[in-house]
Copies of this chain bind each other. A is one copy, B any other.
Amino acid sequence: MYDVLVKNGKIVTADAVTEGNIAIKEGRIAAVLTKGEEPEATNVIDAAGKYVFPGAIDTHAHLNDPGFEWREDYEHGTAAAALGGYTTVIDMPLQNDPCMTDAKAFDFKENKVSPNAYVDYCFWGGLTSYNFGDLKDLDEKGCVSFKSFIGPVSPDYESLNYGQAMEAMDMIKEFDGRAGFHCEDYAIIKNQEKRMKEAGRNDWKAFLESRPVVAEIVATDAIIEIAKATGCKAHICHVSHPAVAKKIKAAQDEGYDITAETCTHYLTFSNEDVIEKGPLYKCAPILQPKEAVEEMWEYVKAGVFSGIASDHSPCSYDEKFNEILGNKIETVFDVWGGCSGIQSGFQAAFSEGVVKRGVCPTVLANAMSVLPAKAFGIYGKKGDIKPGFDADLLIVDPNKEWEITEESLLYVNKISAFVGLKGKGLPVMTLVRGNVIAKDGKVIAKKGVGELVKKLK
């Protein structure tokens, strides 16, 4: 007698779409069965006509909890993730108070957030200039990777320079960890911004010019070379442009273990949105030209990305339009950067990819579940529809049309670049370890059902 049987669905894995059933016991997939094989189960879910995806993994999200709960918290953020289809969220170490830079912060955070999570979560470890001595501890605690910035991003979290990156990678290599980087060259960004300001520019085009793609290329090149020199595994966060993806693919083709992610917004929106609509489309790296968006999909199809992340970077309405922490927003450069997208990531990727561009659903299963789980060391438990894996499933109705509205957002702050987007193909049920968390657009589980996932050893 199984706990749950999901039957008659079109099961999507990285290899194929096949009809079949999934039996779940004690939170894990106990059996994957052919169509017709219907062992008894307490709860039988009929997925006829629908896709059953492995739950998506958001490799990059900022849930801001603890410390900045007025931007986002675990209760709201993971509820949105659950509705959207991310069954595991790899939470970023910064915009947290304290930052996730030592074992104590790990425990503190875990205690704080675990009662409120709707989906499972991993922690990125912090990687800053001052916590090199804590990296091994954090790895032992279960951090799945370590995140640092090469570019200037967050006031509460120092960026690394390339020398520190090299030192960190020498250390992380020791315990076979992975080092992840926000790759925009710090100095290029800072100086371009300064130039724009000196030129009296305060328009969205100036913002775009302040973050030229060469900044992303330079930093990515540097991290790739340092990864080659140290032998450390690297992860390039939120790749925005095909010229960057090309560099990463070249290193992968040479055989280096250098993974990367892109984000749904880089596969959906363009720089024209920034110019036309402004604040909500400000993020870093920037949104790129339309032709670049098309080319990015080619790299998704080629398997270059271990993650189509949300880079969910929420903020209050004021922080986009009025002031941030008491500082008035006077120019485009002051506006909070970040797209809130954790709820929309999967459905937008499905609609833009599978529906609009004819991408095979297997590509999304690979890019959003299998490859991220492998990159972050949780494959075996997460990331696939196989016996023994956690029963994290996402049932998608491929024919359902949708438009994203503010009211539908479960975030603390109901603003997003995705509001107004229309598409087709909607998650209609989300299971995390066999529990139905969301159904028909509503979160139906009790909070606290989400659990911490540690890197598998």
Contacts and interface: CB of A to CB of B under 8 A. Distances in A.
- Best-buried of A191, A218, A221, A302 by chain B (most CB within 10 Å): A218
Nearest to A191: B163
Contacts of A379: 15-16
A388 interface: yes
A228 to B, nearest CB: 8
Interface string A220-238: 0110011011000000000
Interface in A436-451: none
Interface in A346-379: 370, 374, 379
A384 B31 CA distance: 16
Contacts of A370: 15
Contact of A388 (B18, B185, B188, B213): B18
A94 interface: no
Count of identical protomers in the assembly: 4
A393 interface: no
Contacts of A32: 31-32, 386-387
Nearest to A17: B380
A120 to B, nearest CB: 19
Interface size of A as a range: 35 or more
A221 B225 contact: yes
A240 to B, nearest CB: 15
Contact of A39 (B15, B39, B161, B255): B39
A9 to B, nearest CB: 12
A162 B187 CA distance: 6
Nearest to A253: B253
B34 A31 contact: yes
B387 A20 contact: yes
Nearest to A223: B218
A179 B29 CA distance: 40
A387 B32 CA distance: 6
Contacts of A31: 23, 31-34, 37
Given A39-B39, A214-B226, A218-B225, 17 more contacts: A15-B379, A15-B384, A16-B379, A16-B386, A18-B380, A23-B31, A25-B34, A30-B34, A30-B37, A161-B186, A162-B185, A163-B188, A163-B189, A163-B190, A166-B191, A166-B214, A218-B226
